[in-house]
Amino acid sequence: MGKATGFMEYSREKSKERNPLERLSDWKEYSAPLSDEALSRQGARCMDCATPFCHMGTEINGVTTGCPIHNLIPEWNDLVYRGRWKEALERLLKTNNFPEFTGRVCPAPCEGSCTVAISDPAVAIKSIERTIIDKGFENGWIEPRIPVKRTGKKIAIVGSGPAGLAAADQLNQAGHNVTVYERADRAGGLLTYGIPNMKLEKEIVERRINLLTQEGIDFITNTEIGKDITAEELKSQYDSVILCTGAQKQRDLVIEGREAKGIHFAMDYLTTSTKSLLDSNFKDGKFIDTKGKDVIVIGGGDTGADCVATALRQNANSVVQFGKHPQLPTERAADNMWPAYPQVFTLEYAYEEAEAKHGEDPRQYSIQTKKMVADENGNLKELHTIQMEKLKDENGKFYFKEIPGSEKVWPAQFVFIAIGFEGTEMPLLSQFGVNSTNQKIDAKYGEYRTNVEGVFAAGDARRGQSLIVWAINEGREVAREVDRYLMGASVLP
Ligand SMILES: Cc1cc2nc3c(=O)[nH]c(=O)nc-3n(C[C@H](O)[C@H](O)[C@H](O)COP(=O)(O)OP(=O)(O)OC[C@H]3O[C@@H](n4cnc5c(N)ncnc54)[C@H](O)[C@@H]3O)c2cc1C
Ligand code: SF4
C-alpha cells in the first residue's frame, strides 16, 4: 500500500480548475492537473483496503458504483506514491484503453465507493489516472503497437464512440482486420460531438484516433451504414459486425408552443458549436449563436450543464436551467449510504462559471414548463412555468404535484431541450433485422450477441445512454466475444 498512515496525514486535493471568469473567454479545457507531489500525497492516502470497493464496478439502485472497467486503482495509487509512473501506466493500460478520456470526464464512481470516503473525502483517483496517462504521452511511453500477426478475419464496427473504439482496439490487437464506420465527419462519437471542448479538448480524441490508425485500424467517416452502405452489403463483406451506434435519439418535449423558432435539441446546439469551433474557430457562423439572448435549458442533467457552459461562453444575456427534481441534499441521505454513488449537491464547472459571471447558480429546481409562447413572427419570446412538489404515495412511489399560485413567466429567445435520450435509432436495426426492446438492442450483457448471426452490439445502443467508462467496458467485452465467435476461443479479457 501507499503510506500506512497517509490517510490520516493528508487531505484530499482536488484537480485544479482554471479561474471561472478567465476560462469563459476561451474553449480550452477548464481543469488542470495536480502537481506530482500532490498526486503522490493522494496515492499515499490509499489504504489498499482488503476489499477495494473502488474497482468493483456494479450498480446500486440503478446507479454506477465503483469502476466499471475494474481499474487496478490501489496498485497504481501505490506506484504513484513511490514515483514509479511508468509502472503505474502499465497497470492502468491493463484495464483501460483510453484513460485520457476517463481521467478527464468520468464522473468517478470509484471515488464515491473509496473506503477513505466513509469518513473523509475520497482519494483523488481520477486526477491520478489523468496524470498517469498524460505522462505516458509526454514521455513517449505510448507508442503504436502494431500486431505482428494477422488472422485474416474482417470485422466492421458501426459507430466510433468509446464503445466502438475500445472494441476496435482490442480486436486489432488480437490480429483481426478492423474497419470502423462513422457517419459524422470526425471519429469519436460523443467524445467528439457531444462533450464540449472545455471538458475534453478534441486534440486529445484526435491523438488517440491517429494512434489507432497507425496501429492498423481503418476509419471510414462520412459514411452512414443503412444509407451509404446497406446492412446486407456490410454483412456480406465482413466476418462479423458490431453495432456501437449509441443512443442519440433525443427525447422531445410535447408541449404547447414547441414549434416556435429558437427551440432546439441540446445535441444540435452542442454538436454545431463544436463542429464550427473545429472547422473554423466559429468563423463559418454555422452554429446556434445565443450572444445577447436569454437562454433556458430544459433538463437538469449533465447535457444541460454543457449547454449552460456553452451559452456562457457565447455571452448570452441570461442563462437558466430548469430541473424537474428538487435540489439534492448537501450530505448523503439515509437511503444513499456508502459505497453507493453519493447523490449530493455539487457545483459543477458550468454552475461555478454562471455564478462567477452572473452572480447566481442558474439551476431552478422542481419546475415544470407549461407552455412556450412565440411573438407575431413565430420567434420564441417566453416560457410559462409552475413549481412542483415531489411527494410519495401510500406505496412509497414518488409523484409530482403542481403548487397552485407558483406560475411564472420567463423571457427566452432560445430554449435547449436536454431531457434525455429515447434510445438508439430504429431504421438501422430494422435493416439488420436486429431485435430491440424500448429502443435498446437486445443483446445480453456479457454476451453481446444479437438475434442475427455474426452481428453483435455494445455501448449505449445496447445499454441506453450511459457513461464513457461503461462504453469502454462493453467495447472490451464485445471484442472478447467476437474473437471467441471467430476463432473458437479468446485470450482477450
Ligand atoms: C452532451 C453529453 C455529455 C456527456 N458527458 C459525459 C461525461 O462527461 N462523462 C461520461 O462518462 N459520459 C458522458 N456522456 C455520455 C457518454 O458520452 C456516452 O455514454 C458514450 O459516448 C457512449 O458511447 P458509445 O460508443 O456507445 O456511443 P456514442 O458515443 O454515442 O457513439 C455512437 C456513434 O455511432 C455513430 N453512428 C450512429 N449510427 C450510425 C450509422 N448508421 N452509421 C455510421 N455511424 C453511426 C454516431 O454518429 C456516433 O458517432 C455525455 C453524453 C452527452 C450526450
Ligand atoms: S475510469 Fe472512472 S470509475 Fe474508473 S478509475 Fe477512472 S475515474 Fe474512476
pLDDT digits (tens, 9 = 90+) for 122-134: 999 999 999 999 9
pLDDT 10s digits, 443-492:
999 999 999 999 999 999 999 999 999 999 999 999 999 999 999 999 99
Ligand 1 atom having least distance to the Cα of 200:
8
Ligand 1: residue of 69, 190, 218 to mutate (most ligand atoms within 8 A of CB) is 190
Ligand 2 near 434 CB (within 6 A): no
Give the Cα separation of 448 and 479 in Å (integer). 9
Same domain, 184 and 328: no
Domain-ending residue, one of 398, 419, 440: 419
Beta-carbon contacts of 72 under 8 Å, excluding residues fewer than 6 positions away, are 55, 91, 92, 94, 95
How many A from CA of 202 to the centre of ligand 1? 14
pLDDT 10s digits, 64-119:
999 999 999 999 999 999 999 999 999 999 999 999 999 999 999 999 999 999 99
Same domain, 372 and 265: yes
**Which grid cell is 181?**
464506420
Give the Cα separation of 45 and 59 in Å (integer). 25
Residues of the chain by 3-state class (helix, strand, coil), percent to 5: 35, 20, 45
Give the Cα separation of 469 and 466 in Å (integer). 9
How many A from CA of 320 to the centre of ligand 2? 30
Give the Cα separation of 56 and 371 in Å (integer). 45
Which residues, listed in sequence order, are joined to residue 322 by a DSSP beta bridge? 298, 364
Q: What is the DSSP letter of 328?
A: P
**Mean pLDDT for all residues in the chain:** 96
Mean pLDDT of 347-372: 96
- The total of other beta-carbon atoms located within 10 Å of residue 179's CB is 17
Domain-ending residue, one of 419, 439, 463: 419
**DSSP letters along 249-281, please?**
EEPP---BTTTSBTEEEHHHHHHHHHHHHHHHT
The answer as to whether 62 is a domain residue is: yes
Range of the domain at 235: 154-249+422-487
Give the Cα separation of 324 and 327 in Å (integer). 9
- The total of other beta-carbon atoms located within 10 Å of residue 265's CB is 19
Ligand 1 near 459 CB (within 6 A): yes
Domain-ending residue, one of 419, 437, 470: 419
Residue 297 amino acid letter:
V
Question: Which residue, 331, 419, 392, 389, is CA-closest to 121?
Answer: 331
Domain count for the chain, please give it. 3
Give the Cα separation of 327 and 390 in Å (integer). 11
pLDDT 10s digits, 340-355:
999 999 999 999 999 9
Ligand 1 near 173 CB (within 6 A): no
Ligand 1 near 40 CB (within 6 A): no
How many A from CA of 67 to the centre of ligand 2? 5
The answer as to whether 459 is a domain residue is: yes
Tell me the helices (H) and strands (E) count for the chain, helix number first: 17, 22
The answer as to whether 356 is a domain residue is: yes
Question: Which residue, 443, 469, 343, 480, is CA-closest to 56?
Answer: 469
Same domain, 28 and 134: yes
The answer as to whether 237 is a domain residue is: yes
Say if residue 339 is preceded by a cis peptide, omega within 30 of 0.
yes
Same domain, 296 and 314: yes
Same domain, 412 and 295: yes
Ligand 1 near 109 CB (within 6 A): no
Cα–Cα distance list, 147 to 215, 470, 486 (Å) = 7, 26, 18
How many A from CA of 468 to the centre of ligand 2? 10
pLDDT 10s digits, 195-247:
999 999 999 999 999 999 999 999 999 999 999 999 999 999 999 999 999 99
Interhelix angle 36-45/125-138, rounded to 10 degrees, is 140
The bound ligand whose nearest atom lies closest to the alpha carbon of 475 is 1
Same domain, 363 and 438: no
Residue 47 amino acid letter:
M
Which residues, listed in sequence order, are joined to residue 299 by a DSSP beta bridge? none
Question: Which residue, 93, 91, 56, 141, is CA-closest to 476?
Answer: 93
Same domain, 244 and 256: no
Ligand 1 near 20 CB (within 6 A): no
Residue 470 amino acid letter:
W
**Side-chain-facing half-sphere of 410: CA atoms under 13 Å:** 28
Residue with cell 456562457: 312
Same domain, 270 and 414: yes
Residue with cell 420567434: 379
Ligand 2 atom having least distance to the Cα of 469:
1
pLDDT 10s digits, 234-283:
999 999 999 999 999 999 999 999 999 999 999 999 999 999 999 999 99
Same domain, 241 and 330: no
Q: What is the DSSP letter of 53?
A: G
The answer as to whether 148 is a domain residue is: no
Mean pLDDT of 27-47: 91
- The total of other beta-carbon atoms located within 10 Å of residue 447's CB is 11
How many A from CA of 120 to the centre of ligand 2? 19
Ligand 2 atom having least distance to the Cα of 109:
3
The answer as to whether 191 is a domain residue is: yes
Ligand 2 near 125 CB (within 6 A): yes
Same domain, 189 and 90: no
Residue 309 has pLDDT above 80, yes or no: yes
In this structure, what CATH number is given to the domain that contains residue 26? 1.10.1060.10
Give the Cα separation of 168 and 147 in Å (integer). 13
At residue 369, the 3 state secondary structure works out as strand
Same domain, 271 and 195: no
Q: pLDDT exceeding 90 applies to what percent of the chain?
A: 91
The answer as to whether 492 is a domain residue is: no
The answer as to whether 305 is a domain residue is: yes
The bound ligand whose nearest atom lies closest to the alpha carbon of 52 is 2
Same domain, 398 and 428: no
In this structure, what CATH number is given to the domain that contains residue 351? 3.50.50.60
